[in-house]
Amino acid sequence: MPLRCLHARRQDITNLLQHAESIGLSRDARRRLAWFSYALSHDGNISLTCRYFGISRSTFLRWARRFDPRRPETLEEHSRRPHRMRAPETSQEIVALIRGYRTAFPTMGKNAIVQKLLTEHSLTVSASTVGRVIERHGFFFGDRPSHQHKRSGTDYAPDRTLASPTATASSASTPALRQGSGETGEAGALPAADQLPLFGS
């Protein structure tokens, strides 16, 4: 008894099962062919087939409607990868333009380059993409220490040994004492100890 949901003859399914290996059908695809073959050999009894193979009726019907004997790949799971994938690499045109800007202006930042690409070449590129291109291709052509370290492949650690502005201001506001005199070098300085008045005398 034919199945209305299955657009294939029993002979079609038998032929596919016989040549399953040569045409590269997966194990899952062969199992689905076995469902259909069993159902057709048992008067199209879907309920019996589902109980025998331990599958749901909706699963059987979904694959039966999808199956096309002329296209055995319809028995395979669809790839879940998106139809449109983002290109893994930025175009060479954009890379060359970014290099040109960084060569002419070594300290030009990614945001400025984004604006240049848009206004001068009508190219829309994100700042993060420009930053990745600069890092990936090593577009560090400046004389500043950070660029020199990037070119040499070493980490750049700024010199933080300079005194803080607070400490510098504090030391600058404290006048230095003249050695041996007890006086400061500023007008209105404290008198020496032997010049202080004696109280109670």
Sequence ranges of the domains in the chain: 10-75, 92-152
- Given a cut of 50, is residue 168 above it in pLDDT? no
- Given a cut of 90, is residue 61 above it in pLDDT? yes
Q: How far is CA 185 from CA 52, 169, 188, 189, in A?
A: 106, 18, 9, 7
Average pLDDT over residues 66-74: 89
**Cα 72–chain centre separation:** 37
- Percent of the chain at pLDDT > 90 equals 34
Tokens of 136: 């990936």
* Confidence (pLDDT) at 6: 82
Task: Note whether 36 and 64 are within 8 A (CB).
Answer: yes
* Confidence (pLDDT) at 195: 53
Task: Note whether 63 and 32 are within 8 A (CB).
Answer: yes
pTM over 0.75: no
* Confidence (pLDDT) at 28: 92
Average pLDDT over residues 78-103: 73
For residue 72, give the amino acid letter.
Answer: P
Average pLDDT, the chain: 76
**Cα 49–chain centre separation:** 47
Between 198 and 53, the higher pLDDT residue = 53
* Confidence (pLDDT) at 169: 47
Between 169 and 6, the higher pLDDT residue = 6
